[in-house]
Structure 1
Amino acid sequence: MNRYDFTQPGGFPFDQGVLQFMQDCINTAASAANLSGPMSILSGCVASGGSVSNGVVVINGEILPFTGGVAQAKVIIMEEATSLTFEDNVSRTVKYVRTAKFGDNGVSSYLWANFKRNTAEGVLARLDRLEGLLRPFAGPGGMVWWKGSIENIPAGWQEVVDWRGKLPMHWDPADADFDTVGKIGGAKDVTMTLDNLIKHTHPTNRPRTDHIGDQYEGNSLKSDDDRGLYSGDVIATGPAGSETPTPMKTINPYVTGMWIEPILGFFD
């Protein structure tokens, strides 16, 4: 950071240029307020019983004291200008005191609900925690589900092409189908065979007939009929199905999207 060494002997040459230099140094240091966001609370501004205490806020990179009071929906910036009399006896406006407070001037105001407060752990600690949560994406292997269009994939991300048309399965070392990470398997349809069915029959009744093969009406016996009859036998039905069956879909109801992953080196 720029600085003056005021410890040198001989009478420091103090003039307006020195003051401007000091002002520029202060503005440079104050630019760090941008890290807190466009509207934030640096200290104070504690809400209690419908009122908010005094504090310090940031509005668009400018650090301002906040004058508390009854909580309102909007915040404005007040500026009080003060004139000083110079050595040439001319009064000039040179002092500006800017303060944020509740109000609405109808010109430029800011919603109080948009002011964010940093937590007690601090910005750097929060960044460390956030980076820890995002660490799976720092190298190959991490990906997230994206339901937007290919054209709108965020900068620095790309589609995981190898995962097109596939569902994720958690690996299981005890199951031969899932015992290796990255193993590919499964099918979206299947053709049933007899080997897929439990052994079974479909019973049906054959009509009762006389010994010459004539079927009695209603397949019922009459008490005065002495002709020899064959009882109704149980037989199997004829074959059903197709010699070239259509594969059966095994896909559940779905909505398509895609997996995306960070492009290696983009965020380094």
Structure 2
Amino acid sequence: MRYKDVLEVDVHSSYNIRSDRELMIGQQARDFMDSPRSKLCPEKIEEFYTNVKHLYKSAVKYIKERLSFFIWCLTSFSTTKVISRRIKERLPFKDPVLQHAEVVKTVKQTALFSSLHFFLKRFPVLIPEGTTRGEIEEEFADYQSTDITTCIDDRMDTTRGNIGPPVNEEGQLMFKVLPRVMVSLLCILHSSAHCERVFSLVRKNKTEFRSRLGQESLEALVVAKSRSGKAIERVYKQQDLKDYKSAYYRSLRANN
């Protein structure tokens, strides 16, 4: 599968199907199947895994059929070859952004600066003010030859943020700019889903009954509601509550 296009893989061939023990069924299901309390006979276990394979095959078939029908509706072409080509064109399998994004991985020895250069050239805003690409390239070279095993964390963004503390023999930070650039790469939106959620939140707050809601108030509402966690569970300091109350009264007096 590594050397084939995803859509060209025959999912119905037994050669491309994992063994029963390697199928992804979830940890809880795996523990239940292995535990004595399941009391499942071998025939039932075999039937279960057969249904799992059937589910995966049906899901892939459904996706391919839906994509084919969608492309057919857009292009009005019914030729299978044309539809297949259209699918490959619309799905981002070979998108250069995705291909170069591998530079953010923790495998730093195989990372290429050309990939990082791709992002710096495409998104100049990633370059911090007062910094040149040459300085970033120098830090990247030092990064590849420096042991950062103590900085590695389960979260990739934390790992990239942790590579800043190492210092050189003169007691200066070795990586001043590179961590900021790497974390910025992780902030690049991979889809429009987040933007759509913001638009939906704006529509829910600025309705026809609140048509005179000001831009500053709307922005404050969206920011407050976008914060993680439940609003009712948030804990505020007493001083913060006083500041909020004072700001509210000042706003009322200004409007009156």
Same fold (TM over 0.5): no
Larger strand proportion, structure 1 or 2?
1
Greater radius of gyration (CA)? 1
Higher relative contact order (CA 8 A, sep 6+): 1
Q: TM-score, normalised by structure 1?
A: 0.20
Which structure's residues are more often helix, by fraction? 2
- The TM-score normalised by the length of structure 2 is 0.21
